[in-house]
Homo-oligomer: A and B are copies of this chain.
Amino acid sequence: MARPRKPLLSRAGIVAAALALVDTEGLAAVSTRRLAAELGVSGPSLYNHFHTKDEILDAVADTVVGEVDLSMFEGCTDWRAALTAWARSYRAALTAHPNIVPFLAQGPGRRPAGLRMADAVFGAMVEAGWPVADATLIGAMMRYFVAGSALGSFARGFVGDPAAYDPSAYPHLGQAHLLPEHQQRVDEGAFEMGLTALLDGLAVRFVTPTRVPEGD
């Protein structure tokens, strides 16, 4: 076939196909040959659009992070409400594409959407009155929690096999771990509990250290 007069591939098309493959069959299923086959081309064709396979996965990760809503940070006055809404949107984006999370959660690297998100959180916290040093910590802290909750999902991380929970070895684990709907409720509950706890803790910190001695 050689070069077609209209390109068969595009970066966006490759990324969409890669994301679909990651979602349906997992990260391990994404090989350059398999992905190319999915797109109806031969393996090396991808290298006309990306330098490496890793660059493709970076673009996939960036697409997912790009789905996170950041609008609550614009002209934000209530930092607590903004962080709450953002954390939920962030978690929703990750849990919609759980198989890419281990790759994505390692940090933004040089991915634009990840850096944009870090920038938005930091900027909004400073604007809301947080000291610069704290604003950095808040961004990191929230990222830890949200990424950890998507990655270490109870539902995905505990196997659904009774034999795995020998009651003599693990007297407290019980059989409840087996029920998928229970597991999902644990994930939701633990996320909301942690989110509330983190923000409560921040609220304590917000007033205290910013109180400056008044007067001469």
Q: Give which listed residue, B119, B123, B149, contacts A148 with CB less than 8 A.
A: B149
Q: Give which listed residue, B144, B149, B157, contacts A109 with CB less than 8 A.
A: B157
Is A49 in contact with chain B by the CB < 8 A criterion? Answer: no
- A194→B147 CA distance, assembly (Å): 14
Contact B201 A156 (CB under 8 A): no
Residues of B within 8 A of A110 (CB): 159, 161, 164
Contact B159 A190 (CB under 8 A): no
Is A129 in contact with chain B by the CB < 8 A criterion? Answer: no
**Which one of A1-9, A38-46, A99-107 is at the B interface?**
A99-107
Counting every copy of the chain, the complex holds 2
Contact residues, A124-174 vs B (CB, 8 A)? 126, 133-134, 136-138, 140-141, 143-149, 151-154, 156-159, 161, 164-165, 169-173
Q: Give which listed residue, B107, B119, B201, contacts A152 with CB less than 8 A.
A: B107
Chain B residue at minimum C-beta to C-beta distance from A121 = B172
Residues of B within 8 A of A212 (CB): none
Q: Give which listed residue, B140, B151, B186, contacts A186 with CB less than 8 A.
A: B140
Is A16 in contact with chain B by the CB < 8 A criterion? Answer: no
Residues of B within 8 A of A143 (CB): 148, 152
Shortest Cβ distance from A15 into chain B, in angstroms? Answer: 20
- A110→B157 CA distance, assembly (Å): 9
Is A179 in contact with chain B by the CB < 8 A criterion? Answer: no
